[in-house]
A and B are shown apart, each in its own frame.
Chain A
Amino acid sequence: MDRRLTKDHVRFRLNSRQVAVRPGPGERLSETLREALDQRDVKIGCNAGDCGACTVLVDGDPVCACLTATAQVEGQVVETLKGLVETEPLTKRLMESFQDLGAAQCGICTPGMMVSAVALLRINSTPSNSDIEDALGGVLCRCTGYRKIIEAVSRAGDGHIRPPVADGGVGSGIRRLDGERKVDGTENFGDDVAPPDALVLQLIRSPHARAGFEFGDLDAFVAEHEGVVAVLTAGDIPGSNRFGVIPDFVDQPVMAETEARFRGEAVAAVIGEPSAMRDFDQDTFPVEWHELPSVTSVTDARAEGAPQLHEDRADNIMCGGFVKTGDAAAALARADVRVEGNFRSGFVEHAYIEPEAGYAICRDGKVEIHACTQAPVMDLEAMEAILGQDRSHIRIVPTAAGGGFGSKLDLSVQPLIALGAIKTGRPVRIAYTRTESMQSTTKRHPSDIHLTIGATRDGRISGFKFDGDFNTGAYASWGPTVSNRVPVHASGPYRIDDYAARSTAIHTNCPPSGAFRGFGVPQSAIAQESLFDELAEKLGMDALEFRILNVLRDNTPTVCGQVFTQGVGIGACLEALRPAWQDEREAVSEFNRQAASEGSALRRGVGVAAGWYGCGNTSLPNPSTIKAGLRGDGTLVLHQGAMDIGQGANTVIAQIFAEAVGVPVHQIELLGGDTDITPDAGKTSASRQTFVSGNAARLSGQSMRRQILQLCNAKDTATLSLEEGRISVTSDEGTHTIDPSRLDRDDEGYVLTSVETWDPPTKPLDENGQGAPYAQFGYAAHLCVVEIDTALGTVVAKKFVAAHDVGRAINPMLVEGQVHGGIAQGLGMALMEEYIPGRTENLHDYLIPTFGDVPPIDTIIIEDPDEHGPYGAKGLGEHVLIPTAPAILNAIHSACGVRIRQVPATPSIVLAALKGKRDD
């Protein structure tokens, strides 16, 4: 041991080495491990013990490193995932089983999961599912829905590891190609890549929903604070202080100029040395706030005389959407039965476990931005405007994204760190705190929907009138998209000849509502699918058969007048639920009979709901470009620009490409979405990557294959193999061997390249929303069994059966992963999640599902191929949560006879409904 160690040093064993550090008083072990000891496999998700991502073992016991003072582990043994990978054989088994089962999606929670699992398996090699849930229950996951993790830990315990699937073509459920680094702690997320000399940036944010502000002497502030290097305000922005994602609605400032329009909006940034920023007290920043009257609900925002958020948007109305076909009023008037209702939902937070993070650096005449994102090229375009610089001076290097779900489509940290790096000439980093991530980034739109639906006695829909107000928050973000999508989708996947749907996006002094898995469709599906149940009940029809009777089929028009002659798989999804619908209802009746006779307060119910979602942009161009190259050494390189945010694009796009080329997927080298080397594969949004980028990958692969075959004039039926730098082309005419090293190389070292673009064919919508908004839809139907404690109002989901028409499952394991994760998020929205500014700004007041909240899920994959999809594939990412919440609400009604029309259906709300009174 080093003799120069002082009493200020803290000594402990970290994995297999002895370390000595000098932490500040009260420095968290998580910070010491990451910053002083380069142990960046320890992830920080909340800094409050709410997420468990930072779990390490101290003397064998799992603890949150963020709740442990470094000085407290003096003399103890600290183990992290990276260390366990080296020393603990159980970890190897977990690494295998996690990959085999898709138990790691984005991977940000995986170190916490694996470390907790090691602690469990050390004392219990055959844990039950409930043992696993108890042991891992302190770690949150937002991607997987937990079931695959439970199975992976169980399998690692019993040692039943299956051999990896070999070929990896379309249709095979291979492991994620980027899976190993997700499970061994080496994946680099937004906060894992900053160089040691990076300055740290912190933001000064509005404490009020609306406030004017004035700065004091900022130069004096910098001068007086040792270690503070610079302050940024709106005045430091060389280009336009506006960003946004929809061209006509670019309205959000990087930092507010004179007035903050929501709580948490940034007005200034302080940049300093890490040690200074660690101790920086934000109260010392010279800003004076003047709180102003604000509007935080749609009702307030529409009231006469309400404060206006944007001068050019009268009555706080940002925009609206409208779809009309037939005559809804007349059809409702002649309907034999009618149902109507008001439905409400609140803000929903994405709650990915990785807060926004990254760093920027000025290098080689460019500003490089290394950060987590869902849309690197959109980031690039927005940064051009903000910096007033051509894109040749900007480089976006995406890190792994620890979840996104829509919110990482928008800029967050990117302009701030870039401005900081330009101003200081040094690398500048930031990781949002959990609270600022929740305060400042986009949310799911709160909705206030009025819906009336009629039906004739024969069970056919007769008239559908939908009116929805959506709280779009302070800035536009993806609000216009939500407005457009909702009227197109509010019918659900049903034939409705007489239809009118209007949506309105209304500004409030709340965080911007933006993109969140489903873009408003989950909210409208709650209203439509709940009322479909009521209609069926009024008609005396079976709820599932009523849906099947009205469902869209091939050759029936959607409410936009779009007719698909093929690939409408919703009928098959609903029909696939029939056996479970029968069995589960029988089981539930028996359960309820038994419970009633025993005097138990428990009741069970079964509900179904369906959903659809148009893949890609609504009636707008939406191209993806995929580039590939063959190196002189025979390596086939795929420039994979479709951001993998956990869903598996790195694997799926590569599988499609490999299939098209005709080589095993594991022989392909992947490059990421770095904008200097990879063309634009569009944003990871709107369930478009498998569909749109997948098609570009297919074309790129086919082009590469053609070029290779042309080298030896081989027929298209020839088989290719890549071995030891040579390509063998075998056909009935014999085998040719190509030596790529003998071919000419371009500037990038490629002897062959294939760059292909695909854009889904759509047509514009007219003033009544008639047209062809999407080239394909995907379809889904969920069945849910719930158990309600009628004395306490608690609702527990017991089982899901989920049928999804994915056209063609490129990777069935990843399909299941999406289904599980979507259901978990839909369940959260239905039962527990509501973001309230100022009140639920952390992960212990804002509740997302934990282990034990997500029940077993049977996934039924329907493959009704789509003519436009690559190998028939359809998008899936959004579809997976659209039917979940209404299926749960319908199951609650089935269990106890109450209709819940607002989410989340917390115990308080459910019990009040059971007692037939309004919740006070």
Chain B
Amino acid sequence: MGFHSPATLSEALDLLAGSNATVLAGGTDFFPSLKQGAVPETLINIARLDELRGITKVEDVWRIGAAVRWSEIAKAGLPPFFDGLRLAAREVGSVQIQNAGTVGGNLCNASPAADGVPPLLALGASVELATADGTRTLPLERFIRGVRKTDRAEGEIVTAILIPDLPAGTRAHFLKLGSRKYLVISIAMVSTVVRADAAGRIEEARIAIGSCSAVALRIKGLEAAVTGMTLSDLRNNPRIWGEHLNVLHPISDIRGSAGFRADVAGELCRRSIMSCLLMEDAAGG
């Protein structure tokens, strides 16, 4: 019962074990979905747990604490292949939301329009979860299982997002389409991670699309199709995405029709990859 702000992760996990408590971090998704008169009896505040804070690199893996806020990501000194994530961080809701909302919370909320998911998918991120008994790690693709559904079990807390280091010269980008400038829930969004050779030919591309299916998706077919291409190939191929986006299952809603989403997602991919190639030092890095 009540509100708990445990001092350590293990204390938090002990409190959570076997309880019906709700885990609270930034609160930016928790409060808007709160029904009148239905505040959970027990809340465990993990927003300030040291174990969940900070961005570090251990050997070849970057570790972003689950309670790192979006504004911290936006301001962090990170290598260029994080630019997609940093751009996304600046587009999460508003400054107020970015100052409270956490990376881990964005994933646990599992909205099809979660801004953090496409860039983290494109980065090949994994999710680290802890229980009182230990930790496990699984790829982000397997962590988010559907609309508002994750693999997080009772008693588990997401503790970190793990991202493998990428070669120097890898660039990343993020594009979000909405009907207004700020406080936008995306109609479609794309994040790309691209590495090109000295001649500007794409050696590796990772493309993830959000808001166009129940869960944001990597588009492996399109990734393969653009490999070997140059900026001018992309410029000269206005519908480069071809049939590769058929894996998406966009819905029609108040923000846009299914057909519209499919149309713009491809164009956003093309532009996002081109933006990566146009970034300083993208080629041959």
Contacts and interface: CB of A to CB of B under 8 A. Distances in A.
A24 B37 CA distance: 12
Interface residues of A, number: 70
Contacts of A280: 36-37
B32 A67 contact: yes
Given A281-B38, A906-B179, A920-B259, A71 B5 contact: yes
Interface string B22-51: 001011101110111111111101011000
B37 A71 contact: no
B127 to A, nearest CB: 23
A828 B158 CA distance: 40
Nearest to A276: B37
B36 A850 contact: no
A24 B95 contact: no
B39 A24 contact: yes
Interface stretch (B134-142, B182-190, B215-223): B182-190
Given A62-B99, A834-B254, A852-B182, A282 B36 contact: yes
Contact of A25 (B3, B31, B71, B260): B3
A549 interface: no
A138 B254 contact: no
A700 interface: no
Interface in B170-185: 177, 179-185
B210 to A, nearest CB: 16
Contacts of B255: 906, 908
A61 B71 contact: yes
Interface stretch (A506-514, A717-725, A839-847, A884-892): A839-847
B94 A137 contact: yes
B179 A47 contact: no
A68 B100 contact: yes
> Quick one: which of B5, B99, B254 has the most chain A CB within 10 A?
B99
Interface in A2-25: 8, 23-25
Contacts, number: 180
Contact of B263 (A47, A58, A68, A911): A911
Interface in B222-264: 235, 238, 252, 254-260, 263-264
A138 B31 contact: no
A319 interface: no
A106 interface: no
Nearest to A919: B257
Nearest to B40: A26
Interface string B246-285: 0000001011111110011001100000000000000000
Contact of B43 (A26, A47, A904, A920): A26
B18 interface: no
A279 B93 CA distance: 28
A25 B2 contact: yes
Nearest to A64: B96
Contact of B256 (A138, A791, A906): A906
A67 B28 contact: yes
B264 A792 contact: yes
B45 A849 contact: no
A69 B24 contact: yes
A281 B36 contact: yes
A906 B39 CA distance: 36
A848 B184 CA distance: 10
Contacts of B71: 61
Interface string B79-118: 0000000000010011111011000000000000000000
A907 B99 contact: no
A908 B253 CA distance: 10
A279 B100 contact: no
Nearest to A845: B254
Interface string A530-543: 00000000000000
Nearest to A796: B181
A138 B95 CA distance: 6
Contacts of B187: 907-908
Interface string B121-151: 0000000000000000000000000000000
Contact of B181 (A25, A852, A908): A852
Contacts of A793: 260, 264
B31 A279 contact: no
A210 to B, nearest CB: 22
Given A25-B39, A62-B95, A907 B256 contact: yes
Contacts of A47: 31-32
Interface string A839-868: 110001101111111000000000000000
Nearest to B267: A791
A48 interface: yes
B31 A919 contact: no
B95 A48 contact: no
B38 to A, nearest CB: 6
Contact of A138 (B94, B177, B180, B235): B94
Contacts of A135: 95
A339 interface: no
A388 B267 CA distance: 64
B256 A853 contact: no
B179 A832 contact: yes
A793 B267 CA distance: 11
Interface in A421-436: 433
A116 interface: yes
A920 B251 CA distance: 11
Nearest to B188: A792
A281 B260 contact: no
B183 A137 contact: yes
Contact of A844 (B2, B38, B43, B185): B185
Nearest to B25: A72
A849 B183 CA distance: 10
Contact of B180 (A71, A74, A433, A847): A847
A191 interface: no
Interface stretch (A49-57, A164-172, A736-744): A49-57
A137 B90 CA distance: 11
28 contacts: A23-B3, A26-B24, A26-B39, A52-B94, A63-B99, A67-B27, A67-B96, A67-B97, A68-B27, A72-B27, A135-B95, A279-B39, A281-B35, A281-B38, A282-B37, A792-B264, A794-B179, A839-B254, A847-B184, A851-B182, A852-B180, A853-B181, A904-B179, A907-B177, A907-B187, A911-B263, A912-B257, A920-B257
Interface of B: 1-3, 5, 24, 26-28, 30-32, 34-43, 45, 47-48, 71, 90, 93-97, 99-100, 177, 179-185, 187, 235, 238, 252, 254-260, 263-264, 267-268
Q: 7 tightest A-B contacts by CB? A: A138-B94, A852-B181, A137-B182, A26-B39, A908-B256, A281-B37, A48-B32
